[in-house]
Structure 1
Amino acid sequence: MPPHQELSQTHNCVIEPRGNPKKRRDKVYVGCGAGFGGDRPMAALKLLQRVKELNYLVLECLAERTLAERYQAMVSGGDVDPVGAQEKVIEVSCTNSDSGTSFEKSYVPEDGVSTYLGAAPIVECLEKYQPNVIITSRVADAALFLAPMVYELGWNWDDLKVLAQGTLAGHLLECGCQLTGGYFMHPGDRHRDISLPSLLDVSLPYAEISFDGKVCVAKAEGSGGVLDFSTCTQQLLYEVGDPSAYVTPDVVIDIQNVSFQSLSTCRVLCTGAVPSGRSVPDELLRLVPKNCGWKAWGEISYGGYECVKRAKAAEYLVCPGVDFNILSYIVGVDSIKAAEIDENAASWATCKDIRLRMDGLFDSKQQAVHFTREFSALYTNGPAGGGGISTGYKKEIVLEKQLIGREHVFWKTGMKFTNGISSNTEESRDEDATSSCGENGPLQHAQANRQDSYLPRSPQATGTSAAPTGQKVPLYAVAHSRAGDKGNDLNFSIIPHFPPDIERLKMVVTPEWVKKVVSTLLTTSSFPDMDAVMKRDKWADEHVNVEIYEVKGVHSLNVVVRNILDGGVNCSRRIDRHGKTISDLILSQQVTRPPCLCSYTTTFLQQSDNPLVSPAKRKKKNNFPRWVFSKRSENKMSFTGTLDKCKACDKTVYVVDMLSLEGVPYHKSCFKCTHCKGTLVSRAPSKVSALFCGTQDKCATCGKTVYPLEKVTLEGECYHKSCFRCAHGGCPLTHSNYAALDGHLYCKHHFAQLFMEKGSYTHVLEASHKRSASTPPSEPAEPNPEESAQEEEAAAAAADDDDDNKEENPKPETP
C-alpha cells in the first residue's frame, strides 16, 4: 500500500484551552530512549524489553529502527529538517515490509532559524493521527515528555500545577542515563564509587505520571547504575539558571522546593514543582545562526629533558601576528586551565612527555590556513624533538538567542502512512503493569523511609557525617557537583553529602570565591606573564558575573557564571567547549569548613507547641521569641515552617532571606526599586506607597544615621557595624548567629544561656525594659557586660517570685 500524506492547518503558538480534553488513562509511563544524538542505540531497546508497562519512548535523536506495536516514539532528531527525518523512518519501515517507495525531496530552511516549541503540536498529532512515530523540529526537551502526559491524562493548558510536575518529570528524564548513574561515578568520592560492571549495565530512566500530577522516576528492576537523592539532585540542577523560574514554552516552574524520596533502589518519588510567579512565558526562544569566523588548531608533542621549555618556544614561534586570537594548552598539565600558574610550574619540572595544543578563531579562511601552515612549519623551524603534528580548520557558527512573541511563531503537523507499521490500538498495549506509586502503600513507605534520601550515595553504604571543622579539605570531601552550559553561560551545582553542611558551604561558596576559581579558565597561554594575568583578572571583573541560588528542597546551591565559556560551545577555542570539567575544578579546591556557630539546634515553634514552657506561662505571648535553642547530640536542623509571604512575589519567605519594611516581609532579591528595579540597600521613606532608592537609615541601636559603608541590615532594621552586638555580652553578631527578643539582639550562645537560667525570658524582658527606660534614646550607652549581668540577676529574682505566685492557682487552659 503506497503511503499517503496529510497536512494540518497552520497554528500560532498562542496558548488556547483544549476543547473537552479526554482522560484516557489514570497514569502514563513515559521512557527516555536517548539523552543526546550520540547515545547508545541499543539502550532504548533494552529499556523496552525490561519495562513492559512503557507507553511512550522519547528520543532526542533519530533512531532508524522499528518499534513494537504497543509503543509510540517521539523523536526531536528532525531539527531543521523534520520532513527529511520522516522520510528516512518511512524508508526503513518500507524496506522492512518489502513495500519500498520514494517521496519528493524534503524542504530544508536555508537560514537554519529555529524556535523552541512546546508540547501543543505533539498533542495535536496524537489526537488527530494516533501515530507510531512522531518526528519534531526544535522542541523544548521537557515538552517532548510533557505532550503524552497532556494527551493521555486529559490535562488542559491552564492546569498549571500538574503541568509543573509533568515538566519536572521531563526535565529529569531528558538527559537519559545522567539520572540513573551515568556521568556520576567518581573513584575519588566514596559516595559515588560505582562498580564498573554496574555502570556497564546502567538503565535509561522512565517515569510514571498520575492524573493528579504525582511523579515517580525509575530505572529497570535489576539494572545497574544508581537512582537516588544524589543523582536526582544533580539532574534537577543541570543546565538551570534561576531555580525559581525554570522557563519552558508551556509553563515556567519553580523548583526551589522540589524534594526526592526513595521508594526503593529503583524508584524515587518527586514532589514540590509548582508554577512560578510568571506561569507562562509570553515569548519563545529563537536561535538564529550567525557566522563567527574560522576555527584553526594545531598539536605537537615533545618529550624528554626540558620538554616544557621547548613547547613554550614552539608557542612563541607560531604566535607572532596572531597571538590575540590564540589559546594554548599543555595537554595533561593545564588542558582545562584548572590550576594556577605556580601550581603548573611545580608539576612541569618532572614532565617528560607533553603535547602542546593551540586553538585560534579567525575572521577569514586565509588567516586560519596561515596559522595551520605556521604550525606545521615547526617540523623544520621549531625546537628539537617535536613530532606528531596535526592541524585543521573549519568554519564556525554561533546560535544567537532572540525572544519572539508567541503570536509570531507558527507550526503545523503532517502525517504520512505506510503499511510497514501497524496502527496503534488500545487492545495491542500491555495494560497489566502494576503501579510503582500506588494510592497508599508506596507513599506510606516513602514517608517511613524519608531519611533514605540522606543516606550515602554509594552501593557500599558508607557512613555520612559532617565535614571536619577548621582544617583544609578538598571540596570533594564535603560535596559533589555537575556542570552544565547554556550558550556562553555555565552553571554548576554544589550538593553536600551531609545536608546540614549547606549552611557552612554558603559561607565558603561566595560570588567572589567562585570568580577567583574560574578566572584560571580565561588564561590564554600556558606561559603567561604578570601583565597577561592582570589583563585576565581585569576582564573577569568587567565581564564575568556570578549568581548563587539556594535550592532549599534539596539542600543545595546552584551557581551560575555568566560569560565564562569563550563564546559558547559553537565557537569556543577550549578543549572542553561545554565546560563539563569545571565541576571538578570547583570540587578540587581546598576549603576550610567554618566552625559551627553554635552547638544548639534551631527549632521554630508555635507558642502552644513549646515543650520548655509551662501552660500557665504560655499566656504571656510577649515572653516567647520565634525560636528557642535546645542542646542536642547531633547537629541537625528541624523546622515547623513559616507563614510569612513576600509582599512582592507572594511566596514563602524564610528568616535568612527576609527583609522587613514597616512590618511587611520581602525576599532580599525582591526588595527592589519600583522605578529602576535596582536592589535596595536602605529603607524606603515611610510616607510613600512604593519602594524607591534613598538613604534615610537610622541605626536601630543608637538612632544615628547609618551609611552603606558601615551598615548592617537585619530584618528591615539597620545597624552600625560597631552597634551590631549582643545586648547581654556585647559580643559581635553575624546574620547567622543572632536571636531577637522584644527589639533587642543577642548572640545564640547567650540567648540560650539566658533561657536555661530561668526557663523563660521574663527576666530578660524586664531587664531590657529597665535599661531602655533609664537610657536616653539619643545617647545610647555601649553595653556593659558586668552591669547587664547584675541588672538581669536582680530582675530574674523578682521574676521568679512573680511567676511562682501566678502558678499557684493557674486558670484552666483551652488547648
Structure 2
Amino acid sequence: MRRSENSVVVLGGAAGAWGDSSFALPQLLDSERCDYIFLDALAEITMAILARARQKDPALGYATDIISMIGRELPRIVQQGLRIVTNAGGVHPRAAANVLRGMATEAGVEIRIACVEGDDLMDRLDELSDLDLAEMSDGEPLVTGPLSFNAYLGARPIAAALGAGADLVITGRCVDSALALGPLLHEFGWGLEDFDLLSQGSLAGHLLECGPQATGGLLTDWRDVASWHDIGYPIAECRADGSFVLTKAEGTGGLVDVRGAAEQLLYEIGDPGAYLLPDVTCDWRHVELRQVEVDRVEVKGAIGRPPPATLKACAQVVDGFKVTALLMIGGREAAAKAARLGSELTTRAARLLERDGHPPLRNVDVEVLGAESTYGPHARTTHSREVVIKISMHHDERRALSAIVRELGSFAMAVTGLSAGGRGLPKPTPLIQLRSYLIPRDRFAPTIHLDGASIPYLEPSPAAPVARPADSKLGHEPIPVDELIEVPLVALAHARSGDKGPDANIGVRARHRDFLPLLRNQLTTRVVADWFAHRARGRVERYELPGIDALNFVLRDALGGGGISSLRFDAQGKAYAQQLLDMPVRIPRAWLAHAALPALPSRRS
C-alpha cells in the first residue's frame, strides 16, 4: 500500500562495507526508530574475495560476517516488525538466504526471505563476447577467464521482492544506493519516470551507504567529532516528496552536520550533473543542505533524468601475483636508510630473478611511511627517526616472489635499526585487475525467489536518455583587491576523497560562500594536476556544485591501477583530500578576520 504524502519512512544504514562494526546493527535496533535497515557489504575487492571463497567451497561466496550478524538479531528484527535489505549475498545470494533460513528456524522465528539474482554474468561470457564490449578505461576487449563478472542492478527488483511480502531481501551485486531506493519505491510507489524523486531517494542511499562516514566519520574537522568508539550510524527520515533528514541514534557519538553531509555527497562521485545509476541519472549540482537541529540535516533539491541505456558490469581477473613487505627502521637517518634499502632490495631481486631464470619484476613500488613519500615533492618531513618501508612487487610467478621474500631476512643483518616486528615472511597473493564494461540493459533479466518460490518479475523499459543540461555560467568573480597572504587550502575549505576503479575523486567544499570565487580562480585543473603529478598519470576534470558551494575533481589513472590491483599503500586515494588541503592558496589579508576562517594549522600539523 502506498504511504500518504505526509508519512515518513525511516531508513538506517548498518554497514558501509564487509568488516564494518558488529555494534552497528544492534545500535540501530536499540534506537527502535527504523522501518528498514540496510547493510552494504560489497566493494570491488570484496567481489574478488567472495569469488575465490566460492571456488574453494561452493557453499560460500557471500559476506559471512554480515549474514551472521543479521542472523543473531533475527528475533529483535521480527519483534520490531522492521525489514532488512542487504547485498551481502555477494556472488551466492541463494546460499546466504538458506543460511539465514536455518538461523531463523534455530531461533524459532518466522521470517520471509527473498533473494535477487541476475547480476552474475559468468555463465554468459560466450554470449557477451559477441557484443564487442570495450573496457571503460582503456578500450580493451572483453577479458577471458575472469574470476567473477557481475553487473550493477538497480532498486526495482528489491522493491518487487518487498511488494511480494519479503521481510528480508538479499541481493548480489547492485548499486549501493539501491539498497535504500528499493524500500522507498515500495513504500511511496514512485513511478518509473519520477526522476527527481528517484534521484532524491538515491541520494539518501548514497549518504547512508558508507555507514558512519555520514555521521562524523572521515570529517576533515575531526576534532569536532565527539567520539569514534561509539559513533552513531546514519538514519534518514524520508518523505514522499523525496526530501529527507539525515540524523543518527540519540546518545551515540559522531556528528551530523552540513560539513559531513556535504563531504559524503562528494565522496566517490564523478560528474555530479550526470551520476549514472540503473534507475536514474542523478543531478546533484543544486542539492541543498540545511542544519535544522543538532545532529539533523535536511537534504533536498536533487534532480533526475532517465537512466542510461546500459548497465555497468565489472570483471575481476587474476594477473599474476603480488607481495608486500613492511619493515620498521628506527634511529638517526631512518628515512635515508629506508630509501637505500628499497633500492638495494630491488637490485637484489633483479639479480635473483636473472640467476634463477625468471622474467624481471613487472612492477615494484617502494614507499617510506613516516617520511611523507606519498606527498612526493610536497613532503616536509625527511628527518624522522622511525619509519616503515613498504615494498610491493608484482610478478607472473608466485615462486619468484617467494624467493625474493626469503632474501628479506638477510637485510636485518645489514641495515641498522631494521625490524620486522616479529611477523613471519609475507606470502604472495593473486593480483586482481578490475575490468569494467557497459552492457545494454535489455540483456539483463533479474530473478526473485521468495522462500524458494519464483516471483514473477519483468524489468521495466526506462525512458530514452536525455542530454545533460549545461552547467550554469558562474564565471570568475573578482577577488577583493588587498594585500595577499598565503594560507593552506584547509583554511578555506574541507574535503573528502575516494576511488572509482583506477580513478580518484576529491570533493572540495568552501567553508563559506565568500570563499568560493577564490577557490574557482585558484583551484584549476592545471593546478590540481601539477600538485598530484607524482601520483596521477591521466587528465584532471573539475565539476561545480553551486548548491553546496563545492568543486569536485576527478583524477584519471591516479591510483596505480586501483584498489584491488595497485601496489601503493593508499590504493584508494583516501588521503588525497588531506594532501590537497595542504596546498597553499593566496587570500586577502582582511580575510584573516572572517568568522568562517578557522585557526590556521601550523605547517608541521
TM-score scaled by length of structure 1: 0.57
SS of aligned partner of 1:113 = strand
* Counterparts of residues 369-768 of structure 1 (less than 5 Å): 369-380=402-413, 382-388=414-420, 390-416=425-451, 470-521=484-535, 543-593=537-587
Give the Cα–Cα distance (whole angstroms) in 2 for the partners of residues 222 and 214 of structure 1. 25
Aligned residue for 2:427, secondary structure, equals strand
Tell me the amino acid that sits aligned with residue 338 of structure 1. Y
Residue 544 (structure 1) shift:
1.5
Q: Is the 8 A contact 1:51 1:220 kept in 2?
A: no
Match of 1:663?
none
Q: Compute the displacement of 1:339 (Å).
A: 4.1
Q: Which amino acid aligns with 1:556?
A: A
Q: Indicate if the aligned counterparts of 1:252 and 1:280 stay in contact, CA closer than 8 A.
A: yes
Counterpart pick for 1:302 among 317, 326, 329: 329
C-alpha distance after superposition, 1:687-733 (max 9, x if no partner): xxxxxxxxxxxxxxxxxxxxxxxxxxxxxxxxxxxxxxxxxxxxxxx
Q: Structure 1 residues 270, 351: closer, same or farther in 2, change over 3 A?
A: closer
Structure 1 residue 356 corresponds to structure 2 residue 386? no
Alignment partner of 1:593: what SS?
strand
Query: Are residues 1:31 and 2:12 paired?
Result: yes
Q: Is 1:50 the equivalent of 2:57?
A: no
| Kept in 2: contact 1:298–1:392 (CA 8 A) | no
CA deviation profile, 1:421-470 (whole Å, cap 9, x unmatched): xxxxxxxxxxxxxxxxxxxxxxxxxxxxxxxxxxxxxxxxxxxxx9x961
SS state at 1:502 partner: helix
* Residues 1:92 and 2:124 are matched in the alignment: no
Q: Taking structure 1 as reference, are residues 176 and 354 closer, same or farther at Cα in structure 2, changes over 3 Å only?
A: closer
Q: How far apart in 1 are the matches of 2:585 and 2:376?
A: 15
Structure 1 residues 251 and 590: CA distance shift in structure 2, 3 A: same
In structure 2, distance between residues paired with 1:194 and 1:219: 16
Structure 2 contact 214–234 (Cα < 8 Å) conserved = yes
- Unaligned stretches of 5+ in structure 1? 1-21, 100-105, 419-465, 522-539, 598-632, 637-815
2:244 counterpart of 1:215: yes
Q: Secondary structure at the match of 1:41?
A: coil
8 Å CA contact 1:360–1:573 kept in 2: the answer is: yes
Partner of residue 369, structure 2: 331
Q: CA RMSD in A?
A: 2.9
Contact 2:335/2:371 (8 A) holds in 1: no
2:175 is the alignment partner of 1:119: no
- Separation in 1, partners of 2:291, 2:38: 24
1:165-188 per-residue CA deviation (whole Å, 9 max, x = no partner) reads 21121111111111111221x5xx
Structure 1 equivalent of residue 466 of structure 2: none
1:377 deviates by: 3.3
Q: Deviations over 1:264-295 (max 9, x none)?
A: 1132221111114xx21100000112122211
After alignment, is 370-379 or 267-276 more displaced? 370-379
1:130-169 alignment to 2 at 5 Å? Answer: 130-169=165-204
Aligned CA distance change for structure 1 residues 199 and 387 (closer, same or farther; 3 Å): closer
Q: Give the match for residue 377 of structure 2.
A: 340
1:284 aligns with one of 302, 305, 311: 311
Gaps of 5+ in 2: 42-65, 111-116, 124-146, 351-359, 454-479, 597-605
CA shift, 1:399, in A, is 2.0
Question: 2:559, 2:153 → 1: CA distance?
Answer: 26
Map of 1:801-812 to 2, 5 A cutoff?
A: none
Q: For residues 42 and 635 of structure 1, do their structure 2 counterparts lie closer, same or farther at Cα, with a shift above 3 Å needed?
A: closer
CA distance, structure 1, for counterparts of residue 588 and residue 519 of structure 2: 8
Q: Equivalent residue of 1:485, what SS?
A: strand
Structure 1 contact 504–594 (Cα < 8 Å) conserved: no
CA distance in 2, matches of 1:42, 1:635: 38
Find the structure with the greater CA-based Rg.
1
> C-alpha distance in 1, partners of 2:399/2:172?
35
Determine if contact 2:11/2:38 at 8 Å carries over to the other structure: yes
In the TM superposition, residue 315 of structure 1 has moved relative to its aligned partner by: 2.1
User: d(CA) in 1 for partners of 2:13 and 2:362?
Assistant: 44
| 1:229-263 superposed Cα distances (whole Å, 9 cap, x missing partner) | 11111111111100000111000010000011122
* Correspondence list, 1:763-774, <5 A: none
1:311 aligns with 2:333: no
Paired amino acid for 2:331: G
Cα distance 1:282–1:557, how it changes in 2: closer, same or farther (>3 A)? same
Q: Is the 8 A contact 2:78 2:109 kept in 1?
A: no
| Change in 2 beyond 3 A, CA 1:273/1:308 | closer
Distance 1:405 1:76, change over 3 A: same
Q: Which amino acid aligns with 2:95?
A: G
Q: Aligned partners of 1:223, 1:305: CA distance in 2, in Å?
A: 44
- Aligned residue for 1:68, secondary structure, equals helix
The answer for the alignment partner of 1:68 in structure 2 is 78
Distance 1:131 1:469 in 2: 65
Shift of 1:91: 2.2
Go from structure 1 to structure 2 and tell me whether the alpha carbon gap of 1:218 and 1:356 turns closer, same or farther (over 3 Å shift): closer
1:351 to 1:214, Cα distance in 2 relative to 1, 3 A: closer
Give the distance between the partners of 1:255 and 1:595, measured in 2 at CA.
34
Residue 216 of structure 2 aligns to which amino acid in structure 1? G
Give 1:565 deviation, angstroms: 0.3
Q: 1:307 to 1:46 in 2, by over 3 A?
A: closer
Q: 1:280 to 1:323 in 2, by over 3 A?
A: closer
What whole-Å deviation, never above 9, does each CA across 1:728-778 have from its counterpart, x for those lacking one? Answer: xxxxxxxxxxxxxxxxxxxxxxxxxxxxxxxxxxxxxxxxxxxxxxxxxxx
CA distance in structure 2 between the partners assigned to 1:119 and 1:176 by the alignment? 19
Say which of 173, 176, 181 aligns to 2:208: 173
Paired-residue identity, %: 29
1:247 is aligned to: 276
**Per the alignment, do residues 502 and 94 of structure 1 end up closer, same or farther by CA in structure 2, a change over 3 Å counting?**
same
1:461 corresponding residue in structure 2: none
The alignment partner of 1:515 has SS state of: helix
Letter in 1 for 2:152: Y
Query: Comparing both chains, which one has the higher relative contact order based on Cα–Cα distances under 8 Å and sequence gaps of 6 or more?
Result: 2
Structure 1 residue 324, shift from structure 2 partner: 6.4
| Partner residue in 2 for 1:80 | 91
Aligned residue type for 1:328 = V
TM-aligned CA distance change 1:635 to 1:384, over 3 Å? closer
Letter in 2 for 1:68: V
**Are the aligned partners of 2:280 and 2:304 in contact in 1 as well (CA < 8 Å)?**
yes
| Structure 1 contact 548–558 (Cα < 8 Å) conserved | yes
**How many Å apart are 1:296 and its aligned residue?**
1.3
- The alignment's TM-score, normalised by the length of structure 2, stands at 0.76
Whole-Å Cα distance in 2 between the matches of residues 127 and 195 of structure 1?
Answer: 39
Query: Displacement of 1:473 after TM fit?
Result: 1.1
User: Could you tell me how far apart the structure 2 residues matched to 1:413 and 1:324 are?
Assistant: 44
